[in-house]
Amino acid sequence: MGGFIHYFSSHFQTLGQEFWPLLVGGLANGFLYGMVAVGYTLVYGVLRLINFAHSEVFMAGGFASFFVMQHLVGTSSPNGISSVLYILIGILVGGLTGSLIAMAIERVAYRPLRKRNSPKLAYLISAIGASYFLFNFAGKEFGRYSVSMAQPYTNHPLFTIFGAGVQMYDIIIFIAGALMLFGLDRLVTLTKLGRSIRAVAQDAETASLMGVNIDRTIALTFMIGGALGGAAGFLYGMNVGVVYTMGFTPALKAFTAAVLGGIGNLRGAVLGGLILGTMESFSVAFLAPSYIDVTAFGILVLVLLVRPTGIMGERLGRSA
Amino acid sequence: MLKVENAIVRYGAIEALHAISFEVNQGEVVALLGANGAGKSTTLRMLSGLHSAWSGSVTFEGVDITNEKAHDMVSRGIGLVPEGRRIFPQMTVEENLEMGAFARSGSFHDEIEEQYAKFPILKERRKQLGANLSGGEQQMLAISRALMGKPRLLLLDEPSMGLAPMIIEQIFEIIGQIREAGTTVFVVEQNATQALQIADRGYVMENGKIVFSDSAKNLLVDPRVRAVYLGESA
CATH of the domain at B225: 3.40.50.300
- In this predicted structure, the answer to whether residue A96 has a pLDDT above a threshold of 80 is yes
Residue A12: per-residue pLDDT: 57
Residue B59 lies inside a defined structural domain of this protein: no
Give B81-123 as a 3 state SS string: ECCCCCCCCCCEHHHHHHHHCCCCCCCCHHHHHHHHHHCHHHH
* CB atoms A317 and B91 under 8 Å: yes
In this prediction, residues A57-80 reach a mean pLDDT of 92
CATH number of this structure's domain A24-153+161-318, picked from the four choices 3.10.20, 1.10.3470, 1.10.10, 1.20.120: 1.10.3470
d(CA A291, CA A230): 27
Contact B182, B69 (CB under 8 A): no
Lowest-confidence segment of A4-8, A72-76, B54-58 by average pLDDT: A4-8
Per the CB < 8 A criterion, the answer to whether B204 and B224 are in contact is yes
Chain B within 8 Å of A316 (Cβ-Cβ)?
A: yes
In-domain check, residue B62: no
CB contact under 8 A, A209 and B69: no
Instruction: For chain A, give every domain's residue range.
Output: 24-153+161-318
Q: How far is B91 from chain A (nearest CA, A)?
A: 7
DSSP for A141-209?
Answer: HH-SS-BPPPPSS---EEEEETTEEEEHHHHHHHHHHHHHHHHHHHHHHHSHHHHHHHHHHHHHHHHHH
Within-domain flag for B1: no
* Residue A1's pLDDT band (cuts 50, 70, 90): very low
Classify residue B35: in a domain, yes or no: yes
pLDDT in tens, A253-297: 999 999 999 998 999 999 999 999 999 988 887 887 888 888 888
Average pLDDT, chain B: 92
Helix (H) or strand (E) segment spanning residue B44: helix B40-47
Burial A263-298 (b: 16+ CB within 10 A, else e): bbbbbbbbbbbbbbbbbbbbbbbbeeeeebeebbee
Q: What is the pLDDT of residue B31?
A: 96
Residues forming beta bridges with residue B154, ordered by sequence position: B79, B185
Would you state the pLDDT for residue A61?
98
Amino acid identity of A173? I
Residue B3 within any structural domain of the chain: no
Residues in Cβ contact with B121 at an 8 Å cutoff, skipping those fewer than 6 apart: B137, B140
Mean pLDDT of the residues in chain A: 90
pLDDT range class, residue A5, cuts 50, 70, 90: low
What number of H helices and E strands is found in chain A? 11, 2
pLDDT tens column, B25-84: 999 999 999 988 889 999 999 999 999 999 999 999 999 999 999 999 999 999 999 999
Q: Determine, yes or no, domain membership for B21.
A: no
Contact list in A for residue B72 (CB cut-off 8 A) is 211
Interface test with A, best of B90, B96, B127, B153 (most A CBs within 10 A): B90
- Number of structural domains chain B divides into: 1
**pLDDT-flagged residues of chain B (< 70):** 230-234
Q: Which domain holds residue B192?
A: 27-53+68-229
Which range among A67-76, A82-91, A156-165 shows the weakest confidence by mean pLDDT?
A: A156-165
